[in-house]
Amino acid sequence: MFCTKCGTDLKTTDRFCCQCGTAVPGVTPNLRPPERLSRPIYDAKIAGVCAGFARYFAMDVTVVRIIWIILSIWPLPSVGVIAYVVAWAIMPKDPLALPVPQNVQQQLRS
């Protein structure tokens, strides 16, 4: 595969030309929709604040919980606790995911 603008040899996995930056035609970029900062119910230990931040920043929830614990202890005690309570009050909950009805599941399978 070659770049249509500058003629540079491209790999099949390239989305842009490494020489001129032109987008490779026929390749759609893998764009994620913007995440909404909210508290998931399914992954909550206390209120879901850490799980919401982990999902928003695409991090592991355990790392976010450890960072939050460190912020609760250091530099000033209670800074992390106050931030957690504020985030708990401000962040909306995720809407509950309802199970798919049986007739819709059968239609999806066929």
Positive or negative, the CA dihedral 24, 26, 30, 31 is: positive
Closest CA to 92 of 54, 38, 42: 38
Tokens for 2?
């070659």
Residue 93 is given by DSSP the state: B
As a whole number of angstroms, the distance between CA 61 and CA 19 comes to: 38
Confidence at residue 9, expressed as pLDDT on a 0 to 100 scale: 87
Q: Which residues contact 12 (CB under 8 A, 6 or more apart)?
A: 1
What are the structural domain ranges in the chain? Answer: 1-31, 32-96
Q: Which residues contact 65 (CB under 8 A, 6 or more apart)?
A: 45, 50
Confidence at residue 41, expressed as pLDDT on a 0 to 100 scale: 85
Predicted confidence (pLDDT) per residue in 59-89, tens digit? 999 999 999 999 999 888 788 899 999 999 9
pTM: 0.60
List the pLDDT tens digit at each of the 110 positions of the chain. 788 888 888 888 888 888 888 888 776 656 666 778 999 988 889 999 999 999 999 899 999 999 999 999 988 878 889 999 999 999 999 887 677 677 766 776 66
Asked whether the beta carbons of 15 and 27 are under 8 A apart, the reply is: yes
Confidence at residue 100, expressed as pLDDT on a 0 to 100 scale: 67
Confidence at residue 52, expressed as pLDDT on a 0 to 100 scale: 93
